[in-house]
Amino acid sequence: MHTSTSGAGRHTETPGREVVAAPLNAKAAIEERARTAGFPHWTILKPAFFMDNFLPSMALLSRALGTPLAAPDMTEEQALAAGTPAMGSSHEWLNVAGQPARPQYARDLGLRLTSFEEWAWQHLRPAA
């Protein structure tokens, strides 16, 4: 099993790709090795965006956990000054490139989708 990212392998045609080229090139190369290694079975997960990066979900997480959470809304400059990792460039790239992963792809394969809210209620509720 390999955890890649949505768009790896297709990023070479995307405007602004030089911002994310190194990590996506590496992920695309590993994907290709997994496909051609001769394994009887293989899985490549290509998430479009991790839930922990989704700031607007704080209210939902607060309800599921039963405790108030805060996520400050900052500019890239403010976040860097506060000591957060430099991720703004890749997020700017996503604004240009978009996310090729769409829920419809999973539906077309007959996969059951789980909403973020459903996941939070199943996994984050305080123990009774």
Taking only the tens place, the pLDDT of each residue in 49-67 is: 654 555 667 777 888 888 8
| Top-confidence residue, 83 or 90 | 83
Supply the DSSP symbol for 9.
Answer: T
Mean confidence (pLDDT) of the chain = 75
Q: How confident is the model at residue 125 (pLDDT cuts 50, 70, 90)?
A: confident
Give start and end residues of each alpha helix (H) in the chain.
Answer: 21-36, 58-65, 76-81, 88-97, 103-108, 116-123
The 10 Å Cβ neighbour count of residue 63 is 16
Residues 6 or more apart whose Cβ sits within 8 Å of residue 2: 30, 31, 34, 42, 43, 44, 45
> Euclidean distance between the first and final Cα of the chain, in Å?
34
pTM as predicted: 0.44
